Copies of this chain bind each other. A is one copy, B any other.
Amino acid sequence: MNDSMATALKSIFPEDQLRFDQESLQTYGRDWTRFYKVDPSAIVFPSTTEQVRDLVLLARKNKWALVPSGGRTGLSGGAVASHREIVVSMERMNRILDFDDFDLTLKVEAGVITEEIQKWAAEKNLFYPVDFAARGSSHIGGNVATNAGGIKVVRYGLTRDWVVGLTVVTGKGEVLKLNQSLIKNASGYDLRHLFVGSEGTLGFITEVELKLAQPPLPMHVMVLATSNLKNLMHIFRQSREQLPITAFEMFSELALQKVLAHHSSLSRPFATSAPYYVLVEFEEKSADTVDKALALFESLLESGHIEDGILSQSPTQAAELWKLREYISESLAPFTPYKNDISVRVSKATDFLSAADEILKKAYPDYEVVWFGHIGDGNLHINILRPKAMAIEEFVKSCRGADDLLYNLIQDYQGSISAEHGVGLTKRSFLSKARSQEEIEILRSIKKIFDPDNIINPGKLFEPN
């Protein structure tokens, strides 16, 4: 941190919106990844779009790199500052700005926490349906930047589907108001959709306009155990045809064991253990929905597609069953897992999983590999656990070899190297496994339009030139 930078930043930010102390640098300079050096120059906390714009103009003049930072729950290093960047935390931009009770649209600043939006909507008897385990920390701006998906995609889609307007500050310091809550707007290329999933590489998202949904009906949860991966597709098809499903999740026996070991208050959903479990959530659309679920359960048991199962008898029990799935990530955290977050077409999910599991077992017989994911949308999370005795660096290096094997398989399956976590730092060297060289050149050219000096989150998404 040099003096001239400090002086210049103080011309934009009052003292309480600016930090240089080591603790803040280390806290705000990273996300949930643990594999990167954390070394920012300063942390700034803008409270208005104008401050963000002034900062970008200043940074542009001085060729300073800026890293947008939200709730820091990212898993791809998209918000990590390793090269003396200025981290721009959006946490002061946390106001609910406007609600239109006719259009059912909500305008918020980018730093509002996802769960606050969910709660705010619920108070109005409405529903913000994008939901995932990090809801209590993640910012809506970060959700937009990564096109967050989560656990209800099978029913409600991704963040993209709920964004009706954005205010952004580009890397040139332009403030753009994109779409402004129109439902229909055929007036040229939709730049809003470029910013959704851009991982903070085109500019800063400062305000988000969302549409809200009608509240869901009462929910029920079934957890089912199956001995064979191939059964998952049958269970999914039957569930989808016979129930109004809102989530269809999968986790392995090993995942369950890790959750139970980490959370002593939780217990197995039923006595039977099996290699795989699915969690099916559904809405009680009519009086006979629960009967249909029970009939489905019976028929799957009879046909041998499941070994055992449980249907929640109350919202409390449903929430308890959800914990078995939602607590996986945090239960694995002590193992500094090497994470992959991939997607294939839903119809190919279990075939891919079998093939990938075999490859990983052969290449890394000594590592524990935990599988879970949103099987209903083709998204699988693969966590390779670090053996306690192994140093992080050695472990990561060894896992990168696994990436090569895995990503070649993904390419064969025409899948994606990142389903919902983003490319960030962790996957950037594998971008060519998901996008063609022509596409990558186009992406780079688009980046240049919005950020000609490469000052906004440089090195994320793309390998440095």
- Write the residues of chain A forming the contact surface with B, with a CB cutoff of 8 angstroms: 100, 102-103, 105, 146-147, 149, 153, 158, 160-161, 170, 174, 176-178, 180-191, 193-194, 196-199, 202, 233, 237, 286, 341, 343-347, 374, 377-379, 414-423, 427, 431, 434-436, 438-440, 442-443, 445-446, 449-450, 461
Q: A100-B345, A286-B286, A446-B446 are in contact. List 16 more A-B contacts (CB 8 A).
A: A102-B237, A160-B190, A176-B438, A182-B343, A182-B344, A182-B345, A184-B343, A184-B377, A184-B378, A184-B420, A185-B419, A186-B419, A188-B434, A188-B443, A189-B194, A189-B443
Chain B contacts for A436, CB-based, 8 A:
176-177
Asked if residues B423 and A184 are in contact (CB atoms below 8 Å), the reply is: no
Asked if residues B188 and A435 are in contact (CB atoms below 8 Å), the reply is: yes
Chain B contacts for A423, CB-based, 8 A:
186-188
Asked if residues B187 and A434 are in contact (CB atoms below 8 Å), the reply is: yes
Contact of A439 among B147, B176, B435 (CB under 8 A): B176
Asked if residues B187 and A417 are in contact (CB atoms below 8 Å), the reply is: yes
Chain B contacts for A439, CB-based, 8 A:
176, 178, 188, 191
Chain B contacts for A446, CB-based, 8 A:
189, 446, 449
Contact of A442 among B191, B346, B420, B445 (CB under 8 A): B191
The answer to whether A346 and B186 touch (CB under 8 A), given A176-B438, A191-B439, is: no
Once bound together, how far apart are the Cα atoms of A342 and B102, in whole Å? 19
Once bound together, how far apart are the Cα atoms of A431 and B187, in whole Å? 7
Asked if residues B461 and A188 are in contact (CB atoms below 8 Å), the reply is: yes
Asked if residues A189 and B184 are in contact (CB atoms below 8 Å), the reply is: no
A323–chain B nearest beta-carbon distance, Å: 23
Asked if residues A346 and B102 are in contact (CB atoms below 8 Å), the reply is: yes
A143–chain B nearest beta-carbon distance, Å: 12
Chain B contacts for A427, CB-based, 8 A:
187
